[in-house]
Every structure is written in structure tokens, then in C-alpha cells.
Copies of this chain bind each other. A is one copy, B any other.
Amino acid sequence: MKLKDIGEFGFIERIKGGCLIRDENVISGIGDDCCVFKTSAEVATLLTTDMLVEQVHFLLEVIPPYQLGRKSLAVNMSDIAAMGGTPKEAAISVAIPDTVDLEFLDALYDGMKSMAKEFEVNLLGGDTAFSPDPLIINIALVGEAREEEVLYRSGAKVGDVVFLTGPVGSAAAGLDIILKGRGSDEWEELIEAHHNPYPQLKAGRTIASMQVANSLIDVSDGVAADLGHICTESKLGAIIEEKMIPTTEQFRAYCEKFQEDSRHLSLHVGEDYVLLGTVPVESAARLQEALESNGCQFHSIGNTVAELGLRLEGRDGSVEVIGANGWDHFR
């Protein structure tokens, strides 16, 4: 079935069901000029927005619509996780080409709703429009955090331990597999990492509530680029050890089998949506314990230093300057 069979307002009616997950604090959801809700008096409001453009962020023929829906919300939730917050209310804009049918859209919204339900986020509003060509999804997500717990990119101090809350490179390898037509059950974990990233909200809340970490970001552009953001905003540098970068067994097997550059995939591509942060040396063990006892991970990968720039200590002990480069939309 096509959108033109039911029209814009028929479509809005069709997707409305299952959008309201929690009704406490919600005054009015989908169907008016704005959605209306209350925020608690003692918290800070977080707002993030991410746009996913077909052919740039996803390939329509490759990613199943249900997973595209989950991923669209996941990348926004990951930004809330990286501030130590809790996601609350979302507004979704979609621009839809007439080649996309209703069944695709139903699956897309089912994916968003499954993610929303899992993390107790309400889908409260948005905008629907026609697009002459690519499918475009934009989500604006409002979250909250206690002001004193919010974690910025700018708070790192010289001598901090640099840590990751999970393995990196898997999403990059998954994309590589898809683009090179190597898809098979053997690499399912890697393809899944690319299609279905999981926002680390529990890790983010654990880190934030302890109030010991100095900075936090999510790995969307790649470890080098995202650590580069922390270094730039905090006006310091970092040295990380290649052998400490956590990767999965399947990632290492894939790189070995196809002679792919594991260093490039794990440091300069991104989209793993794990968290990257810095914590004073004296609090690192305590943070690790708290994360692990909550079922999360903590991997120390190096330290912040006064000298600007990023340096990588290779497996052979040699140290080289690496660019803080990852994904740049315009270069």
C-alpha cells in the first residue's frame, strides 16, 4: 500500500498507537502544534537531534526498516547516554519519497517503538513530509539529568585514565562486510553491530551517578576523532595503547581473514556507540567495579597528557602521532 492511499493525516493516525510509553508528566502527545510535557524542577533538560539521510547514513536496500527505526532512535539515545542522562520524550520528522511503501514505514515505526519501549521513551510528536528522493529521518530527543552529574567533553584533566565501555571496530567491520558483499552468518555479530547499535544508557547513568569521571562522549565518529573532541574541548592531549583497545574475537578474525586494517577500523571509523571517557587515576578502579557490577564494561586504554595531540603506542612499543580523524561529512 502507498502513502497516497491514506494521506498525511491518515498516516499520522496509523502510527499513533504505541507511541506513548509512559504517561506521567505528559500533558499532550501526537496531534497538536506542539507536544506538551512537564520536566522535573530539580533536573537539567538535555536536547539532542540527529538526522539520518538515505545513501549517507544508511542504504535502503541493505538495512531492514525495523532496524533502521531502532538505529535512528539509538543514535540519539547514545548522545543522552554520553551526557549521563535519561532519555524521555522524542519528536520524529520523516521526509518520505513515493517509492517507499506503507509496509516499510510500518516496520520503521515498529523499530522505533520497540527501542522507545525498551528505554521508556515517549514518541510525542514530529513532522511528516514528502521527499523528492532520499528518505530522511530526523529525531529530536529530550532527556534529563541532575545538573551536577552531567558529563561534558570539556572536563578531562591531565593524568586521567582514558576508558572505553565496550569493544570498538565491530560496526566499522560490519559496514565493510556489507559494502564488500562479504555478508554471511559467520560475521553476523559484526553486521548486527552496524545495523543495531545499542545505546549505553546504563553505563552512562552508572558513570554519571558516581560523579568521579571528568569527561564523557559516545564513539560515533571513531575513537581517535571522539577522543580528539575531548582533548580539544579540554585543552590537553592523550596517549593510548594499541594493545589495550578492546575488540571482539569476531572482529579480529575478520580483519585477519581479509587482511583488513584493524587499527583503522577500530580507531578511525566509529558508529559503535560505546562510551569513551576520562577518570582520575585514583577513581578508576572504583568506577570499573561499579560498571562491572552493573553488567557494563570498563577498558583502560591510555592517559591524558599536557602535550596536545593524540599519540598511539603500538604493539612494538613505538609511539607515533595519530590524527584525530574519523568521519567528516564534508571532507
* 8 Å CB interface, A63-109 against B: 78-80, 82-83, 85, 89, 91-96, 98
Q: Is A211 located at the chain interface by the 8 A CB criterion?
A: no
Render A172-202 as a binary contact track against B, CB cut-off 8 A, 1 for contact. Answer: 0000000000000000000000000000000
- Are the CB atoms of B47 and A34 closer together than 8 Å? yes
A93-B51 in contact given A36-B44, A45-B45, A152-B28 (Cβ < 8 Å)? yes
Which residues of the other chain, B, contact A80 by a CB distance below 8 angstroms?
Answer: 33-34
Closest Cβ of chain B: how far from A287's Cβ, in Å? 19
The number of chain A residues with a CB under 8 A from chain B is: 74
Selected contact of A124 from candidates B47, B82, B126, B329, CB within 8 Å: B47
* 8 Å CB interface, A24-41 against B: 27-28, 31-39, 41
- Are the CB atoms of B4 and A330 closer together than 8 Å? yes
* 8 Å CB interface, A115-148 against B: 124-134, 136, 138, 140, 142-143, 145, 147
Query: What is the chain B residue whose CB lies nearest that of A215?
Result: B32
Selected contact of A8 from candidates B3, B128, B136, B329, CB within 8 Å: B329
Across chains A and B, which 10 residue pairs bring their CB atoms closest together, nearest first? A140-B140, A41-B41, A33-B82, A138-B138, A51-B93, A3-B330, A34-B46, A33-B79, A34-B48, A130-B329
Q: Is A209 located at the chain interface by the 8 A CB criterion?
A: no
Query: What is the chain B residue whose CB lies nearest that of A225?
Result: B9
27 A-B residue pairs with CB within 8 Å: A4-B331, A7-B330, A7-B331, A11-B330, A27-B150, A32-B154, A32-B233, A33-B48, A33-B83, A33-B153, A34-B79, A34-B143, A36-B46, A49-B125, A51-B136, A51-B138, A53-B95, A53-B129, A53-B130, A53-B132, A53-B136, A91-B140, A96-B329, A96-B330, A129-B329, A133-B134, A138-B140
Known: A33-B48, A51-B136. 13 other contacts (CB 8 A): A4-B330, A27-B147, A27-B150, A32-B154, A33-B217, A37-B47, A50-B127, A53-B131, A53-B136, A56-B131, A128-B330, A132-B134, A142-B142
Docked pose: A218 CA to B34 CA in angstroms = 11
Which residues of the other chain, B, contact A150 by a CB distance below 8 angstroms?
Answer: 27-28, 36
Which residues of the other chain, B, contact A55 by a CB distance below 8 angstroms?
Answer: 132
